[in-house]
Structure 1
């Protein structure tokens, strides 16, 4: 996947495709509730990925496991607002789903939580 990106990325200059080109001139995401820690995951019911831009496809590929919006921006080496706009597009198409960061109530292994707490107390 990294080899596919080499043609548009110059280590010294950064992305050769301008952010406004990636977002088609948009400056605000359509989904207003995206923040740095919103978890994004690829949907099981996807649209035709061949119709998506390479950046959109890369986000879907990255999100086979849940990633935060900030992680996606970092992996793609794009500004956060650009990541939010691209993710918003994918949310509208149903290719990804967004959720809140996991809560400690989602963790059922209390032994794990106790081990973490014990480790913090030893510090």
Structure 2
């Protein structure tokens, strides 16, 4: 083995795997997520495909409640970019979703909700 360290396969019996192998060499997620994006176990619809075994630690982490991508990366010990891609895969397959603010039924309503707009404005004001 070269001087590079391999990432552990999260106790799945696969042994050490490099992070880029976990996402089949992809470097870009299918969605625009950042490290503070919260995800939860999806409650609507059935998943489209069985998850890969090394995706299971993400699902286990999210079973406890809403988790940020940074929190997931720290918990499972994988780089944030790899976690972004894995979370997008799980979202695309119907396992994970981003939580909706209370009272919203449709994501398109978020841009019209004064509470959300106020939160966004406060967040922008707090930027350095």
| Count of matched residue positions in the alignment of Structure 1 and Structure 2 | 93
For structure 1, list consecutive stretches of 5 or more residues without a partner in the other structure: 10-15, 107-123
Runs of 4+ in 1 over 2 A off after TM superposition: 6-9, 99-102
Cα pair 1:42 1:97 within 8 Å, conserved: yes
Query: 3-state DSSP class of the match of 1:5?
Result: coil
More strand as a share of residues: 1
Other-structure match for 1:38 = 37
The CA distance in 1 between the partners of 2:74 and 2:101, in whole Å, is: 18
By relative contact order (CA 8 Å, sep 6+), the higher-ranking structure is 1
Cα pair 1:38 1:101 within 8 Å, conserved: no
Alignment of 1:55-66 (within 5 A): 55-64=54-63, 65-66=65-66
For structure 2, list consecutive stretches of 5 or more residues without a partner in the other structure: 1-9, 103-114, 117-128
RMSD: 2.8
